[in-house]
Structure formats: C-alpha cells, structure tokens
Amino acid sequence: MFKDSLSFEHFRNRLAHAEALPQLVLLGILSGLASGLLILAFRLMIDLPLEAWLPGNHNENFEGLPAWVRFTLPVFGVILLLILFWNLLPATRKVGVVHVLERLSYHQGHLPAKNMLVQFFGAGIAILSGQSVGREGPAVHLGAACGSLVGQTLKLPNNSLRLLVGCGVAAAISASFNTPLAGVIFAMEVILMEYTVIGFTPVLVASVTAALLIKAAYGDEPAFSIPALQIQSLAELPYVFLLGLVTALMAAVFIRIMVQTQRSIKWPMTVRFLTAGILTGIVALFYPQVMGVGYDTVSMALEGNAELKLLIGLLIAKWLLTPFVLGLGIPGGLIGPTFYIGAVTGASFGVIIALITGESHSGIGFYAMLGMGAMMGAVLNAPLAALIALLELTGNPNIIFPGMLTIVVATTTVRYFFNQPSIFLTSLKAQGLDYRQEPLTQALSRLGVSSLMQTDFVRSGYFATADAALQVLGNRPEWMVLEDKKGTPTDILFPADLEYFIQAISQRDGFNPELRLDLTEVPAVRKDIAPLPINATLKEALDKMNHDRLDALYIVKLNRDIAGIITRDQIEHFYTQKLH
C-alpha cells in the first residue's frame, strides 16, 4: 500500500513539470471516458423522453404538437427551472461556457460539482420543454467539469487541472456532434486559447475516447445526411464572399442582443424566466420549429426543401428569440442555434440568389452548409473549429475551400468591423470579468510549483548553539527554515550568511560550541514566508507573493509537511529563460 501511494505521489509530482506527456495521456483517457459517459447520459435524458411522447416518436417533432401545448410547454418548463434554481446561491446558478472560462481564469480550473448538476438538469429541462436553446453549450460545461473533478479527486497539480478541463471540453464536443477533431480544435481555440504539443496530445486522446463511446451507442452516422455538394464555378466566389458578409451581420446582431439583454435587464429571476417561457410559447404558436435543438430544421435547410417565406420567418424568429432567452438566463447553449441560424441564413441566401440570377448555381444546400460554418465561426470567434466542424458534420471535403472563404470573411468582419470578440468573452466582460491570457500568465500556468521549488533545506527553531548550527550547515542546504515555538515556519535564512557570522565571531572571541545564537537577529539574507499548497501553479505562487508582498513561499504537501521553498527570483529566472 505504501509503495502504491509512493508511486502515485511520484505520478502526481511529475505532472507539475513540462515533460509529463505519458501521465497526461493516461489522464486524457480517463477524463475522456468520464466526460463521454456523462454526455451520453445527458443525450439519453433528452432523447428518450422526447421520442416517447412527441408525435411520430421523433425527438424533434415539436411541430406535431397542438398549439396550446406548444404555448404551455415552455411556460411549464420555466416553472420547473424556477423550482430548481429557487434555493440555490447565485454562484451555484452559474452555468455554461462562460462559467467555464471564469473558473479557468480566476479559480485555476476548479469547477464545482454543484454547478455541474445544475447544468445537467437545468439544460435537460430547458430542451425537453422546447426552449429555443442548444445542448452543446451545456455539454461543454459538463465535460469541463468532468475533467476538473477527475483532477480534483486525484488531488493533481493545478497546472494539469487546466489541461484536464480542455480534455473534458474536447470529449464533450466530440460526444455531442460525433466530431472528434472539431472537439480538439474547439477546446484549444475557444477554451484553452493556445496550441502546444504537450497540450494537444491528451486533448486529442480524450476526444477520441469519447467519440468511440458515442459511436458504440449511436453508430457512425454523421449528424446531417446531405448530398456531396460542391462549388460549381469560380464565378460563384463573389456570392460566397457576400454570404460571409451577410452572416457576419447576423452574428453581430445575435451577440449584441444577448449581451445587451444580460447588461440591461436586471429583473428578478422569476420575471426573467417567465418572460422567456411566455415569449417562446408565443413564437412557437407560429413557428414551432424554433423549439428544442432544431436539427430537423437544419437538415431541411441543407436539403433545400423549404420555401423562402418559411425560411425567412424561421430565420427572424430564431435569430431574435434565442439570444434574448439566453440573455434572460435560460440554462441552454448557443452553439446549436448558431448552426440553425447559419443554415437557414445560407438557405435563404441561396434561394434569393437563384431568384435574382435565374440560375440554381451550386444549390441551396451548398449555401446552407457555408452559412452554418460562417455563423459558428463568427459568433464564437473560432474559424478553425467552425471549418473542422463543418467538414466532420457534413462528411464533404469539397466544402473546405468555399467554407474557408466564407468563415474567414464572417469572422474577420465581426471581429474587426463590428469590434466584437467571441460571444463568450463578450459575456464575460459584461459581468465585469476578463479572460486573462497574457504570455506570462500562460507560461506560469503550465507548470506546478514542485517543478521549480528547492527541496534542499533544513528546519530550525529561532535559537541554536554554534556547534548545532555548524553541524546543520555541514550538509550545505540551500535554505534554513526558521520556525516559531508552535512549529510554524515564519521566514528563511541564507545558510552561507549564518556560517560567515559564526566564523567572524570565532575569529574575534574564539569558537564556543555552546554559544547560543538568536537566528532571527543574525545579519543575513532573510525572507518572510507563507504557505502555498503543492498543487499550485507558478502563476499562483507569483500572485500570492505579490498579494502578500513576499519574496518567498514554503510549499506544503497534502499531509501538511513542508515540501520545499520557492522564491520570486526563481520564478523570474524561469520566465527570463522562457523569453530567450
């Protein structure tokens, strides 16, 4: 048992270093499996009840419900949400991708289990009751929480906890869309916002693990079955470019509505939720296709089977309703709705171009595909993730070239012309928060304190005889840790200075082995210290030093024993080396 504990302690300590790829791959598999199982449970919780009671046993056939049911169902759903949220603290009600980014930026990736449960049941109720939201945003939160809780349970260093969140996110996207590569790119581009070899590999492993699990449960079919459409002529490139601009406008308004709703409407939760439910019910009377995830409508747009009047009506309804209800706090996602809005935008655009020019060109479904990718890329500010998702969802490699053009145009226009970053970062800033990703922050967050701390130290009380001090100094420690009567470390002493002081006293008065020394008064380099857990990152160590105005910390093991010493000079030296 001791040997096993010792082996795991070594495993845990290795994770604090930069070169811990084998350990991270194992954790990637574990977090991918945990996240995949949770997302599978989440999907089944939604799909099975809807298949059981919606007409035709189709899990998206809200259109088949009577008008009075379409109105009352969203209202009943928000009442259930109010019951769920009623006695929860405001911090526990926080869910979604924005919550994940906040916990990564301000809490070292520690995601609470309570919020995960609120997201699981809250999003389930929202989708089952036909709210105009998606399941992928909640899945991101659930996957991230799974990865984080794996790390918290195993008491892993915080630098690996951040990466496990990325593993969970990749697994969640992979399990939601059956798109393993898009899951990896989404995690790196939207959540972690960095690409490293050490980070990429475990995230990839986690995504593949979850994909295998979902394929075993749901099969290997792509999310949307459409013909292998492709651009018919380079003469259509101006239309592809124009679609990117149109989609950018749609994305910018979508972001603005959601963020302004969050900022401006400060009603009590009961009023906000009931408003969202009643408004959804009213819209569903005329356009029931806005209810739920809406992938059946996306497939309809991709197949090019809808009339322009219906497409325009669905577009306006979903485009205006979804950001408003999300801004009011309904615990659903927006990634699925961006696909919906993008597909309907593209399909409408294709029909209008055909009416104006009198030519069918590459087909309505072709433009619907481009609109899907462009809307996702523009709203999330994630062009590569959008392109890969588009490729995996459609299974059509011919979409890559025109998809790149449309996505780049839409994303660039929203980012620089409308001056809007991703909707997640915009929502975070609307709460007075920021997602801090400076180079120094990234570099210091990748390593744990145990990778840099000095373990060659000795402990001593405030008083010692000259003979005892010299015996201790004979081991040539890097630091001497001074402790008060209660055994609490208070400061550290540079041993060479103590040795020099004893030699000076001996040369002047002769060596007296029984000479009693007050180590707090010895002229020496001395630094006040405070404790820091061994699972902390170098960034946490520097933040604590700055907050407490200290230049050194002592690192505490899980059993509360001292593991080592870390100083400001060490951290600054490390970062200086990284710069060069």
Residue 168 lies in a domain: yes
- The pLDDT value recorded for residue 362 is 65
- The pLDDT value recorded for residue 142 is 97
Q: 295: which 2 tokens?
A: 């992938």
How many whole angstroms separate alpha carbon 192 and alpha carbon 176? 19
Same domain, 381 and 529: no
How many whole angstroms separate alpha carbon 392 and alpha carbon 180? 8
| pLDDT surpassing 90 at residue 15 | no
Q: What's the pLDDT band for 196 if we cut at 50, 70, 90?
A: confident
Same domain, 14 and 150: yes
Same domain, 394 and 505: no
- Cα dihedral 384/388/389/395 (nearest 10): 160
| pLDDT surpassing 50 at residue 2 | no
Q: What are phi and psi of 527, to 5 degrees?
A: -130, 135
| pLDDT surpassing 60 at residue 496 | yes
| pLDDT surpassing 90 at residue 165 | yes
Supply the pTM of this predicted model.
Answer: 0.89
Q: What is the CATH number of the domain that holds 67?
A: 1.10.3080.10
Q: pLDDT tens digit string along 412-427?
A: 999 999 998 889 988 8
Residue 302 lies in a domain: yes
Domain boundary among 438, 456, 481: 438
Q: What's the pLDDT band for 230 if we cut at 50, 70, 90?
A: low
Residue 216 lies in a domain: yes
Same domain, 102 and 183: yes
Residues facing 134 on adjacent strands = 333
Same domain, 425 and 453: no
Give me the number of domains the chain comprises.
2
Averaged pLDDT of the chain: 89
CB 346 within 8 A of CB 378: no
- The pLDDT value recorded for residue 370 is 94
Same domain, 458 and 352: no
- The pLDDT value recorded for residue 502 is 84
Residue 2 lies in a domain: no
Same domain, 430 and 484: no
Share of the chain above pLDDT 70, in %: 95
| pLDDT surpassing 80 at residue 181 | yes
| pLDDT surpassing 90 at residue 394 | no
- The pLDDT value recorded for residue 360 is 61
Same domain, 196 and 74: yes
pLDDT (mean) for 202-222: 87
Same domain, 517 and 399: no
Q: pLDDT tens digit string along 234-278?
A: 778 899 999 999 999 999 999 999 999 998 888 999 999 999 999
In order of 133, 299, 367, 478, 578, the CA distances from 246 in angstroms are 23, 21, 12, 64, 43
Residue 118 lies in a domain: yes
Residue 424 lies in a domain: yes
- The pLDDT value recorded for residue 185 is 93
| pLDDT surpassing 90 at residue 561 | no
Residue 126 lies in a domain: yes
Q: What's the pLDDT band for 131 if we cut at 50, 70, 90?
A: very high
Range of the structural domain that residue 214 is part of: 10-220+229-438
CB 368 within 8 A of CB 350: yes
Same domain, 465 and 362: no
- The pLDDT value recorded for residue 580 is 55
Same domain, 333 and 292: yes
Q: pLDDT tens digit string along 58-94?
A: 888 999 999 999 999 999 999 999 999 999 999 999 9
- The pLDDT value recorded for residue 501 is 86
pLDDT (mean) for 302-310: 88
pLDDT (mean) for 286-308: 90
Helix (H) or strand (E) holding 374: helix 364-380
405 vs 579: which has the higher pLDDT:
405
pLDDT (mean) for 313-320: 96
Q: What's the pLDDT band for 1 if we cut at 50, 70, 90?
A: very low
pLDDT (mean) for 516-536: 87
- The pLDDT value recorded for residue 438 is 66
How many whole angstroms separate alpha carbon 206 and alpha carbon 168? 7
- The pLDDT value recorded for residue 275 is 97
- Which residues are CB-contacts of 131 (< 8 A; sequence separation ≥ 6)? 74, 77, 78, 276, 277, 280, 291, 292, 325, 330, 332
| pLDDT surpassing 90 at residue 197 | no
Give the distance from CA 183 to its chain's centroid: 12
Q: pLDDT tens digit string along 105-124?
A: 888 889 999 999 999 999 99
Q: Helix 21-53 and helix 158-177: axis angle, to 10°? A: 40
Same domain, 79 and 185: yes
- Which residues are CB-contacts of 425 (< 8 A; sequence separation ≥ 6)? 101, 381, 435
| pLDDT surpassing 70 at residue 163 | yes
Q: pLDDT tens digit string along 329-386?
A: 999 999 999 999 999 999 999 999 988 887 766 678 889 999 999 999 999 999 999 9
Residue 4 lies in a domain: no
Q: What is the CATH number of the domain that holds 484?
A: 3.10.580.10
